[in-house]
Chain A
Amino acid sequence: MTAELDTFAAPTRLPGPAAERPAFARSLVSRLGELAHQPILVLSWIIVLVVIGWAVAPGLFTSYGPYTGDTAASFVPPSAEHWFGTDRLGRDLFARSVYGARTTLTATLLAVIIAFGVGMAVGLVAGFAGRVADTVIMRVVDVFLAIPSLLLAMVMVSVLGYSTTNIALAVGISSIASFARVMRAQVLSVVTQDYVKAAYGLGVGRLGVMVKHVVPNSLSSVIALAALEVGTAVLAVASLGFLGYGAPPPEPEWGLLVAEGRDYVAVHPWASIMPGVALAIVVIATHRISTSFRKDHR
């Protein structure tokens, strides 16, 4: 939701010459130099990389298993031994959060890929294929935007069945509309550029112009939106997990971890707060990174 307003912000920074050239073409060295002046951005990257590490190789980060618990040690408060404390069954909550990263992040990745891929294609067709296609597509997009994405995702999950994959599908599909709209706006502005007219003038076909000029030059703002969508999608996936539409209970999924701890929040608050705070920190980090992307691409 915030994505729309961010990308449609008042154009305070007009695209200069830098916007014509993909920002990643700048030298890596100068970018690393810039990073040194932004400790929070560096910290955000570290957090995100560590959490990706959790998802890829959870065994490296914790010696506890996600399912094995010691019932004698139930509801141990956070300590050096159990960083996040333990739950009702004495399972180490840090281990469960580490292993849960795989479930939550895979779902997030899938959701973002769907939203990005389909949204980009739909937006490209709307912006490039002419007025009839544009009108039809944008009216459909309007409808999807009229239903809050969490509600739409809930409805879709109820039809598809409860599972983390279906949550990913639902979150992805319900975010297609905003990607399509941003891509279309970008395509519409790119096709009026001189270099596009020049390409036509040189005899390049419509398809060639689309592939070689329109797509590469329209991508930057959609990529920035995708970066922002990562945080939003983590939140959506975890929210649906919290509501109980995702993986069944023994599975460690971040939203579900919070939901499981919630029943004991009055007496053992850490059981839901520690996984929840970890989740919030990850989302804040991805938002910080996406902001830096947006600045680069303007």
Chain B
Amino acid sequence: MLRYVTLKVGRALFVVWAAFTLTFVLLFVLPVNPVDLLFDPAEINTIPPEVRKQVAENYGFDDPVIVQYLDRLGHALTGDFGNSVQSGRPVTAAILDVLPSTLVLASGALVLALLIAFVIALVATSTRHAWVRNLVEALPSGSVSVPVFLSGILILQIFSFRLSWFPAFGGEGARSLVLPLITLAIPVSGPIAQLLVRSFATEFHSGYVTTSWAKGATRGGIIIRDVFRNASLPAFTIAGITFGNLIAGSVITETVFARKGIGRMTQIAINTLDVPLVQGVVVLVAVSFALINLIVDLIYPLLDPRLRATLAISIPQAATGGLR
């Protein structure tokens, strides 16, 4: 068990370190002249050479790459990713500024997405009509096929411009949160729903359900008491994918609705080539991803007695690679 935990923690740490190194190579080493990246592309020709030289010195671009790397890594370990080029503020502070806004949006969307996914899975399992099941099962693949920017614009058009139920833009107040929340929940719900539909179907045809039928349980009773509990667990295994979808979705959603947040900040940082800020965001995302997968890996065996049993014997192959 201890070996399992050490292995998982080690892998999580490795992923974070490698994400830092990868972004360092991409953003600081690969560009022929990293100093150019630090200026607005439109003004690049108006920058006098002395200023360039001084900026290069400030950022340590004249040092050997390995010195730069160790310096940045050392600072990053203390949570210091340097200063944003655009605003001059520390990257960490800039991120913490907009983080709550995105957290509210993402967690709200996640709750809504889970609700949608469970409703789809429950309806698909409990219905006796094949056409209802087919229709409902087609929804998740539809929801991942419609681009987020399109669903955002459609929702904006219908509920804001036509019906005037909700404000179109702006980030303040609960009412302005409703439309972005729905927009983001749609693509996030798709993969969860697909997984749940399959998992519900598998459990519904398993042996213990037959036993419950034999004991005289009703269809509804079986689905709520037996299937629901056992079939919901696998949703944890795609926590990492769900997180990725939330991040990618929030970039587009925040852009469409002009909401402040990590996604929009990232987009602006990339547009203005704000290299330190971009690196900070990527590392933050990698840390969150690694943390989420670590928690799932450590908690999942506790929730699933079958996995716990295999764990006691050896490190299960399923948990180390197959499931995630």
Contacts and interface: CB of A to CB of B under 8 A. Distances in A.
A149 B248 contact: yes
Contacts of A128: none
A156 B26 contact: yes
B278 interface: yes
B120 interface: no
Contacts of B142: 284
A283 B202 CA distance: 28
Contact of A280 (B22, B147, B191, B240): B147
B268 to A, nearest CB: 11
Contacts of B150: 258, 272-273, 276-277, 279-280
B310 to A, nearest CB: 16
Interface residues of B, number: 62
A207 interface: no
B322 A284 contact: no
Interface residues of A, number: 55
Interface string B8-47: 0001001100110011001100110000000000000000
A243 B248 contact: no
Contact of A276 (B153, B248, B270, B281): B153
Contacts of A159: 26-27, 30-31
Nearest to B248: A150
A13 to B, nearest CB: 11
B136 interface: no
Contacts, number: 168
* Interface residue SS majority, chain A: helix
B145 A276 contact: no
B141 interface: yes
B245 interface: yes
A5 B238 contact: yes
A159 B33 CA distance: 11
A158 B11 contact: no
B145 A242 contact: no
25 contacts: A1-B241, A1-B245, A2-B141, A2-B194, A2-B241, A10-B202, A142-B14, A143-B14, A143-B15, A147-B22, A147-B282, A147-B289, A148-B247, A152-B282, A154-B266, A154-B267, A158-B270, A185-B322, A243-B267, A258-B149, A273-B153, A276-B153, A280-B145, A283-B146, A284-B141
